[in-house]
Amino acid sequence: MKILGIDPGLQRTGYGIIDANGPESMKLIEAGIIKTSAEDGISKRVTDIYENLTDIIKENKPDVLVLEKLYAHYKHPATSILMGHARGVICLACGSNNVRLINYSATRIKKAVTGNGRAGKGQVQGMVRSLLGLKKDPDPVDISDALAMAISYVYIEGTGDKRGVK
């Protein structure tokens, strides 16, 4: 089963694709970031995210896409609004390409991957490296966060008959 994790951001959207038949068989297929320029308008930036993600989906044909639930801190509402733009086009790409979409909270993802729902970025990076048998921590953290989302699906939902769009 191919699982695509996405760490949404308007400037940098991290993505990571793993293949897994269970926790013992997880392997990295591809990971990277989709960058947009702050100098471009919002319509160009969301179009760039949508088009790049659509290419990734068409090329890799994931069975499921895992996305972190939107969290808004009352001190930084603009951040959640900007992330909402990126999340919206990611959801659109899922619908347009018939990919099942799963949303988990950040604490649920961290707990599934590290055993601690309040784990720091470094701890998540280290566990992603260990679980996927990588030589170094995925960098930048947008990539390790995206891979953590994909890995969390294996631990929370498992693999097997979960394929298909809901």
Active site residue 19: no
Instruction: Give the global pTM.
Output: 0.92
Set 7, 63, 137, 145: catalytic member: 7
Set 63, 137, 142, 145: catalytic member: 142
Residues of the chain with pLDDT under 50: 160-166
Active site residue 68: yes
Closest CA to 150 of 25, 28, 8, 59: 28
Residue 164's pLDDT is 33
Active site residue 139: no
Residue 58's pLDDT is 98
Set 63, 68, 137, 145: catalytic member: 68
Residue 70's pLDDT is 76
Residue 22's pLDDT is 87
